Chain A
Amino acid sequence: MIKSKERKDRDTTFSKPLFRSPFYDFFAAQETEGHWYNWNGYKSPTILSDEELEYFSIRSTCSVFDITPLNKYRIIGPQAEDFLNKLTVRDVAKQNVATVKYTLWCDQEGFVIDDGTLFRISDNDFRLCSQEKHLPWLIDTSCGFDVEIIDETKHFCGISLQGPTSASILRLLGVNGIDNLKPFHLFQTKISNMPIMISRTGFTGDLGYEIFMKNNAANEIIEKVWAAGTNHGLTAIGYNALNMARIEAGFIVANIDFISSDHAIRANRCRRPEDLGLGWLVDLNKGFFNGKKAIVNSKLANGTAFKIYALEIDGKEPVEGSIIYYNKKDEVGTVTSAIWSPVAKKSIALAQLELGPSKSILENLWVEIYALKELQYYKLMKKVTIVKPPFINLARRFACPPVNY
């Protein structure tokens, strides 16, 4: 007879399939509408109370968003830099300690697997954050390197404070050095004696900070942050508000604006860095990295046919998922993300389009919109203009020291 093992929490995988972040209770207490979604296996809020007011907290006061579900890989060891140089497309040797770089990594065919942020904590200590899970790829790539890869996703949690008053809130919390912290830089400090890592980064195109800590510090820190934000309009937000801000900032998301080569079932859905407008990240002067040969070859062949573009659209109807036409009749692509931008006062979108080399096409692009008005669709053709992202440029994002409110 087989003796059954101590059951412990085994059976919770089906009864509670989604993880709860250490901040779950805090955000659940803010929530009035009951809109939750599944972000990377975590039960995460889409809207807490009012999507638009949450959005305006990012642009006018300060928002707090739970970034715990982001995948967080710790990469430590004498060859951490060498390993990351093989994994990612940027030259990690050029990344200084205490800085954060936006980066991406490709498969051996030069197709983008994912993008993410690389935190250089010390010479031999990095943290890589990404939307998708990559442990098998990281481990496979680490073969032959003296490096340790630790999946910290479940052990470290994080919040993102984004908005004009975010620096003031951190000052109130006694975080020294906020004034000198430049964009894409980080430092280690403490809030109420709890060690945290704070970086001037975010996904909103605004002034903002990301704070990472061990799970056991979560309760104490969120309480302190929340209290410090009382007079600075601190608002807890869900994903929808953040999504509006990131589209305004022109940031793309894997498996929304492009299909990760890890997920693509159809080979022609895979994209090269230049297709995503991220060719500038690729450093061909460094040694071998995953996908280098294919990227070099694709430069000659002009990448794949589809590229991501930022669009401004005439009118105010929502265009998410709409088809883009050349000359109102030939399909050239699809809108992947779109909103009415409350700051730019424009209908804006990210789209993947197959435009070819001819410049004249750019002058004759249209989006087909099915506008639903009281159960009747109105088919509209609206003029599309290709612009250079971001859709909004906020001086406070890069101001150093940040404005005190």
Chain B
Amino acid sequence: MEKNFDVIVIGSGHNGLVNACYLQKAGLNVLVLEKNDWIGGAAVSRELHPGILYSNCSYVCSLFRPEIMRDLELPKHGLQIVAIEGGTVFTRDGDYLASYRNYHAKKRELERFSVKDSESYSRYSRDILKQCRFIQPLLMRTAPDPASFKFRDLSEMLYLLRKVNDLTASELADTVRFWTMSISDFLDEYFENDVIKASLAVSGIIGTALGPMSPGTAYVLLHHYMGEVDGSIGAWGYARGGMGAISKALTSSFRAMGGTLLNNSEVDKVDIRGARVRGVILKNGDEYLAKNIVSNADVKRTFLKLTDPEHLPPNFIKKVNNFKIRGSSGKVNIALDSMPKFPSVSENNPCLKGDIHFTDSIERMERAYDDWKMGTWSRDPFLDMMIPTLTDPTMAPPGKHFMSCFVQYCPPKVGGQNWTKENKDAFGETVIQQIADYSPGFREKILHMEVRTPKELEDEVGLTEGNIFQGELTFDQLLFNRPIPGYAQYRSPIKGLYMCGSSTHPGGGVMGAPGRNAAVEILNDLNLPNSDIRDAYEVL
């Protein structure tokens, strides 16, 4: 086996694979090292029950950039993203608030709860779109370093300032407010009904160790809204075959270009000699050499575990230590013998094909967060539940189903102690009980269940504290401050060591932009052309 490569990518998460593909495509000889015997990091599909494929971690797709899919020919390698119909919040009084793709069906559904709110919805969408138009073009660009006087930093700063300058006074005020305020306060400006507010607040808290009343959560909503399915902004889709299909297509594209990917190859240390990288040393003692190492791991894992601190400046280590990457969510994946019944909705209602929630007020979300602050999982958690097998025939035999439950909030440690089996079971039971409250006979349909607390996410996937975004998406950790001021351009203090994970700009979600942007920077450093990397499409 060859030991010398131009580039070694640590981790086969979607960003690692995107990065590896672009670099391999540019003519470099790239090796991807994956510690698990499966690929994909948190974009993974595994068959944990015979015949039933899971989306074990991430479970829906919207943010993954179409430019990347096209550059890397992922459709040719089997990737299909299909649009989702519907979504619903069940209310405790036995009703539900559904959401449909059909705009008027959606508005009529809102009207059932508040005529005024139904009409306010268009103003709300307009304002979110306005914010998207401002921020989305920044996703596929390296953030400028405001302290640098390099030509490209100055010109990128100028680009940012021009964009700011294009805003009217009230738009600028709205933007600054939007980036800093809580999702609850933001929604209060448009809506009066609590169920409607709860259904919209969801995107403000997913993956974040903040409550809907915490400042900064409005931006998190925007982050979830910036994706699209075939031009439909804010829409979500399923990767056909589960989220692992994205990693599979990326791997296939990578291998077709001649790249090398090794499973069961956990990196122990990045080998650093004389302030630059030499290669990596695996847990099993194997060594691979490369002048460029790209870490898909989060910033904490990269610099506190894989790199010896002696090579790093002390203030950098301190900033890495203090980077906010608090685990706040868990996952319960369930194989079902048949479609669960939800008597509140009629059986042909398409809303069950989308995201299903049981939290009908902002107050309940905030109380769920309170439990997390007290060091335990929420007694009344917030669930983002989906049954992709209602849309995707490839994941389960006809009539059987896979159900994905994203659960918030769930702490990385319980009362400061490591998770025990009892705690993990009790956490799973909390989730099942909430579903069963709305779905009689639910328990009897369960064939198999995978419960993942932040501990499993950290141990299996490698996400520090089980934070799904590799670091929170609050304004202090975005743009040129992500992950560390002065190191927001995918480089590190060590020559030849790069970052390409969600810890870097523009952050988490299965977007691929960090991996792509890092590839642009690496090719720049190597004086190689990056003409094969397409610029971002224009928004709206």
**Chain A interface (Cβ within 8 Å of chain B)?**
1-5, 7, 10-11, 13-15, 17-19, 38, 41, 109, 133-136, 139, 151, 262-267
Contact = CB atoms under 8 A, between A and B. Distances in A.
Contact of B94 (A3, A265, A267): A3
Contacts of A13: 98, 100, 105, 108-109, 112
B107 A41 contact: yes
Interface stretch (B277-285, B341-349, B524-532): B341-349
A133 B540 contact: no
A2 B104 CA distance: 28
Nearest to B347: A11
A403 to B, nearest CB: 42
Nearest to B129: A265
Contact of B100 (A17, A133, A267): A17
Interface in B65-109: 86, 90, 92-96, 98, 100, 102, 104-105, 107-109
A321 B190 CA distance: 34
B108 A7 contact: no
B104 A18 contact: yes
A268 to B, nearest CB: 9
Nearest to A71: B119
Contacts of B126: 262-265
Contacts of A14: 86, 98, 100, 102, 105, 109, 349-351
Given A136-B123, A265-B129, A41 B170 contact: no
Nearest to A3: B94
Contacts of A15: 348
Given A14-B100, A14-B350, A38-B104, A151 B94 contact: no
Contact of A133 (B119, B133, B351): B119
Nearest to B128: A265
A226 B538 CA distance: 52
B440 interface: yes
B122 A265 contact: no
B429 interface: no
A265 B540 contact: yes
B303 to A, nearest CB: 41
B438 interface: yes
B108 A41 contact: yes
A40 B233 CA distance: 22
A391 to B, nearest CB: 32
B130 interface: yes
Given A2-B92, A38-B104, A265-B130, 12 more contacts: A2-B94, A2-B437, A4-B343, A4-B344, A5-B95, A13-B108, A17-B102, A17-B104, A17-B105, A134-B119, A136-B120, A267-B168
Nearest to A10: B112
Contacts, number: 82
Interface of B: 86, 90, 92-96, 98, 100, 102, 104-105, 107-109, 112, 115-116, 119-120, 122-123, 126, 129-130, 133, 167-168, 170-171, 190, 343-346, 348-351, 436-438, 440, 540
A151 B343 CA distance: 33
Given A11-B349, A17-B104, A267 B167 contact: yes
Nearest to A38: B104
A139 to B, nearest CB: 6
Which interface residue of A4, A135, A267 has the most chain B CB atoms within 10 A?
A: A4
Which interface residue of A14, A18, A134, A267 has the most chain B CB atoms within 10 A?
A: A14
9 contacts: A5-B95, A10-B95, A11-B348, A17-B105, A109-B170, A133-B119, A263-B122, A266-B133, A267-B167
A68 to B, nearest CB: 15
A14 B351 CA distance: 9
B98 A135 contact: no
B129 A136 contact: no
Contacts of A11: 345-346, 348-349
Contact of B440 (A1, A17, A19, A151): A1
Nearest to A41: B104
B116 A135 contact: yes
A11 B105 CA distance: 10
Nearest to A42: B104
**CB-based closest 3 A-B pairs:** A17-B105, A5-B94, A4-B344
B122 A262 contact: yes
Contact of A151 (B105, B115, B168): B115
Contacts of A135: 115-116, 119
Nearest to A108: B170
A56 B108 CA distance: 36
Contacts of B95: 5, 10
A104 B519 CA distance: 53
Which interface residue of A38, A264, A267 has the most chain B CB atoms within 10 A?
A: A267
Nearest to B166: A267
Given A11-B349, A151-B115, A264-B126, A17 B344 contact: no
Contacts of B190: 136
Contact of A139 (B109, B116, B343, B350): B116
Contacts of B348: 11, 15
Which interface residue of B92, B104, B438 has the most chain A CB atoms within 10 A?
A: B104
Contacts of B108: 13, 17, 19, 41
Contacts of A139: 116
A337 to B, nearest CB: 22
A2 B90 contact: yes
Nearest to B350: A14
Contacts of B343: 4
A141 to B, nearest CB: 13
Contacts of A134: 119
B369 to A, nearest CB: 23
Nearest to B346: A11
Nearest to B132: A265
A17 B107 CA distance: 9
A356 to B, nearest CB: 21
A65 B440 CA distance: 50
A363 B155 CA distance: 42
Contacts of A18: 104
B281 to A, nearest CB: 52
A2 B360 CA distance: 13
Contacts of B116: 135-136, 139
Nearest to B167: A267
Contacts of A2: 90, 92, 94, 344, 437-438
A69 to B, nearest CB: 11
A240 to B, nearest CB: 21
A14 B107 CA distance: 10
Contacts of B122: 133, 262-263
A265 B167 CA distance: 11
A15 B130 CA distance: 31
Contacts of B346: 7, 11
Nearest to B130: A265
A18 B103 CA distance: 10
Nearest to A6: B94
Contacts of A136: 116, 119-120, 123, 190
Contacts of A1: 436-437, 440
Given A11-B349, A14-B105, A134-B119, A267 B344 contact: no
A294 B95 CA distance: 45
